[in-house]
Amino acid sequence: MKYPLWIRYTILLPLLLSPILVPNIIWLICSVMIILKRIICYPKLYNITVQKLSDIIKLKDSIIKLSESIESNNTFEITSATCYEKNLLYIAIRKNNNKKLEKFDNILTLDRKDGKIMGLFQITEVKENEYYAEEKSNIDPLWKGYVKQNGEISMIPNIIAIYLKKEIQNG
């Protein structure tokens, strides 16, 4: 049986081409949806990127201030660390001939190997050969747990204490 020509073109040709056309049409629709989603989300992502970039710039500035603080002989050696009352971490800092600390000065502890900040301390007591400082904020939980587990640690080779100048403390 022979079909008329108009039936061949309107029914049989789309049936023959549908295995090729349907996946291509689905792909085209998905691509258009993805492009529209990206166009809608771009301003939000751009604002987030600009904010993160400004945060990075602020961190670079604070790192520069911190490195200036380190270079100006404001570093101290930590002689021991222990956990006493109220689950607080205390450190003993060997006196430095170049810089004298006072009570309530802030000290930042920094790991020399990876540059990680181990915590912020405040001088609570000034002795003849040492300063004693109590944790103030942002103490590394692994370091505190290690000190708590061992009672007292007398050798801390990779962690240094850095005196924070008044403008760094307030800024």
Q: Based on the domain organization, do 96 and 162 belong to the same domain? A: yes
Q: Based on the domain organization, do 25 and 47 belong to the same domain? A: yes
Average pLDDT over residues 19-25: 88
Among 52, 71, 90, which residue terminates a domain? Answer: 71
Q: pTM surpassing 0.85?
A: no
The residue with greater pLDDT, 38 or 7, is: 38
CATH code of the domain containing 106: 2.40.30
Q: Based on the domain organization, do 98 and 165 belong to the same domain? A: yes
Q: Based on the domain organization, do 77 and 54 belong to the same domain? A: no
What residues form DSSP beta bridges with 47?
A: none
Contacts with 77 (C-beta within 8 Å, 6 or more apart), sequence order: 93, 94, 96, 160, 161
- Chain segment 80-129, per-residue pLDDT in tens: 999 877 788 999 999 877 788 889 999 988 887 777 888 999 999 999 88
AA identity, residue 16: L
Q: Based on the domain organization, do 78 and 150 belong to the same domain? A: yes
Cβ atoms of 91 and 121 within 8 Å: the answer is yes
Q: Based on the domain organization, do 95 and 67 belong to the same domain? A: no
* Dihedral angle sign, alpha carbons of residues 70, 74, 75, 78: negative
Q: Based on the domain organization, do 123 and 146 belong to the same domain? A: yes
Residue 66: domain span: 1-71
Among 71, 97, 123, which residue terminates a domain? Answer: 71
Q: Based on the domain organization, do 150 and 78 belong to the same domain? A: yes
Q: Based on the domain organization, do 47 and 67 belong to the same domain? A: yes
Most confident of 31-45, 80-94, 110-124, 141-155: 31-45
Question: Two tokens at 95?
Answer: 């006196």
Instruction: Report d(CA 117, CA 164) in Å as an integer.
Output: 13
Number of domains in the chain: 2
Among 71, 87, 105, which residue terminates a domain? Answer: 71
Instruction: Report d(CA 6, CA 9) in Å as an integer.
Output: 5
